[in-house]
Amino acid sequence: MQTKTYPLDQINGFGKLLKNYLAGDQALKPLYGNAPNITSFQAQIDSKKSVNRTLLVEVLQDQYQGFDDAPQIASLAEPNTFTVTTGHQLNLFTGPLYVIFKIVSTINLARQLKKAYPAYHFVPVYWMASEDHDWDEINHFHLFGKKIQWDTDQKGPVGRFDIAGLSSIWAELPSDIPVFKECYAGAKNLSAAVRSYMHTLFGQEGLVCLDADDARLKRSFIPVMQADLLENKHLACVNASNDILTNLGYSPQIYAREINFFYMLDGVRERIEKQGDVYKVLNQAIRFSEEELKAEIVAHPERFSPNVAIRPIYQETILPNLAYLGGAAEVAYWFQLKGIFDLHQVPFPILLPRNFGVMIPPLEAAKLEKLELSIPDIFQDERVLRQQFVDKNTKHALDLGNEQERLSTLMSKIAQKAQAIDETLEASVLAEETRWQKGLERLTKKMRKAEERNQAVGLGQIQAIKQKLFPDGNWQERHTNFLEFLLNYPTLLADLLAELDPLTFELFVMYLPEKDA
């Protein structure tokens, strides 16, 4: 597999916030900690306060019971071992391709850190979003142009979902795919299934999967729960960061609330809201007085689930973590949370964008070469790309701008002559000019459409390329499941581990070889 990279500035679709952050814009400095480069990690190591490593190892060992080849979890008990983390929802069959890019980026960062800082050990962690309840976002995946969906009426945190009914989708797959069939068949719930397939795919690379839906871990988080639920301390922190972002011309990604926790039971994950003197769990008959809520937090911390504004500090409270790798939107919303970390004196992790990539099959690569289209070209809007292609390849003049300009000059002279005879004639001349100019505009469109018909073969190939690399108008990595490539290229994961570089902040373009190569 051949790989080329392209600066993000050349690729349409990346926001200015990410690009300015990576360029070192000092105006953003109050919103993050150490800079995203390899030399910053020593300072991050020095600043990382101790966490309850014994508890973390205990929980992970419990979660990996039954794995004969479990990762080296025990090393996390050592003070010179640190983690680098990415997180994502519990997608079916891994979900879109970029989830794989996230995991690979994190594994490769751990590898690079070991080379740069050999006195320490670094463990790549996948934070499983097991408490998420947005089932509609993850109940499907796209494979070979087909949407494969699992319908269930289960509610609440998705990690606890019983997956017995998942067998209904196997008939829709192109093959048995043993890796996944075994992982799903042997799991008691969705969280266990995702841990199993991630371990099968990446366990040999040292990846550790953590499900933080655990009463023991939540107990260590009680002080932050109390600060949010009882004192509403975090809304002001986020709003202060939002003000900085807004003043710099950026739009906040998320909005905090006075209370940033859900109440969670099997089948239930609903927001908590204070109404008068009563704390209510929305859409449920559950109510607490302040004293009752205080007691519930202490007795059952596992029933309190952080929202997007609080989840990051939960992660950093229980992990000896140095860096978080996420997509552009994730990096953006972490900028809103620095004040919460400062309030609780928890070190803010180094923020790194995960690797962005596109896989170019041989047929599409050949078409791009034939049409003389570059990678930045294909990331443009299709309408713009089609227009540029037609303009580049036509042998005719399709723009009547010069003619329109000459018409305007001519009509101005005619207007002067008409006005000299009768001032009221000027309006008639201007009306005629408007009519004729619109006629030229219509003629221009007809000429362009005629030329598009002349170039129909090339434009059809452009449309096919866009549909392959941007299916249904989405970026390939955000839409297509990685099995579409793995089934044809069994060495795909090894190739990605060899090609992607988490400290190269560019678009990775990976040209797939011919199948028999």
**Tens digit of pLDDT for each residue in 401-417?**
777 788 788 888 888 88
* Residue percentage of the chain with pLDDT more than 70: 98
Q: Is the pLDDT of residue 217 over 90?
A: yes
pLDDT digits (tens, 9 = 90+) for 142-161: 999 999 999 999 999 999 99
pLDDT digits (tens, 9 = 90+) for 3-47: 999 999 999 999 999 999 999 999 999 999 999 999 999 999 999
- pLDDT for the residue 172: 86
According to DSSP, the β-strands at 304-306 and 268-275 are: unpaired
- pLDDT for the residue 118: 97
Mean pLDDT of the chain, nearest integer: 92
Location of structure tokens 């690379």: 205
- Cβ(35)–Cβ(348) under 8 Å? no
- Mean pLDDT over 449-478 rounds to 87
Helix (H) or strand (E) holding 262: strand 261-265
**Delimiting residues of CATH 3.40.50 domain(s) in the chain:** 8-218+307-357
Q: Is the pLDDT of residue 126 over 90?
A: yes
DSSP string, 69-99: T---GGGGGSTTEEEEEEEE---GGG-BHHH
Q: Is the pLDDT of residue 83 over 80?
A: yes
Question: From the CB of residue 223, how many other CB atoms can be counted at a distance below 10 Å?
Answer: 10
pLDDT digits (tens, 9 = 90+) for 327-377: 999 999 999 999 999 999 999 999 999 999 999 999 999 999 999 999 999
- Mean pLDDT over 367-390 rounds to 89
- pLDDT for the residue 400: 67
Q: Is the pLDDT of residue 517 over 60?
A: no
How far, in whole angstroms, is CA 395 from its chain's centroid? 43
Q: Is the pLDDT of residue 260 over 70?
A: yes
Three-state SS letters, 39-53 = HHHHHHHHHCCCCCH
459-463-465-469 Cα dihedral, nearest 10 degrees = 150
Which residues, 6 or more positions from 413, have their beta carbon under 8 angstroms from its beta carbon? none
Cβ density class 240-250: b for 16+ within 10 Å, e for less: ebbebbeeeeb
- pLDDT for the residue 398: 61
Report the distance separating Cα 316 and Cα 322, nearest Å.
9
Q: Is 473 left (phi over 0), alpha (psi -120 to 50) or beta?
A: left
Picking from 431, 342, 345, the residue whose alpha carbon sits closest to that of residue 50 is 345
Judged by average pLDDT, the poorest of 119-123, 155-159, 421-425, 508-512 is: 421-425
Q: What is the CATH number of domain 8-218+307-357?
A: 3.40.50
First to last CA, the chain: 10
- Cβ(184)–Cβ(90) under 8 Å? no
Tokens of residue 513, six digits:
């070889």
- pLDDT for the residue 179: 82
pLDDT digits (tens, 9 = 90+) for 490-508: 999 999 999 999 999 999 9
- Cβ(473)–Cβ(383) under 8 Å? no
Q: Is the pLDDT of residue 1 over 90?
A: no
- pLDDT for the residue 413: 87
Report the distance separating Cα 167 and Cα 169, nearest Å.
5
β-bridge partners, 127: 87, 210
- pLDDT for the residue 204: 94
- pLDDT for the residue 516: 62
Cβ density class 492-517: b for 16+ within 10 Å, e for less: bbebbeebbbbeebbbbbbbbeeeee
Which residues, 6 or more positions from 109, have their beta carbon under 8 angstroms from its beta carbon? 84, 122, 124, 323, 325, 352, 502, 503
C-alpha R_g of the chain: 28
- pLDDT for the residue 396: 67
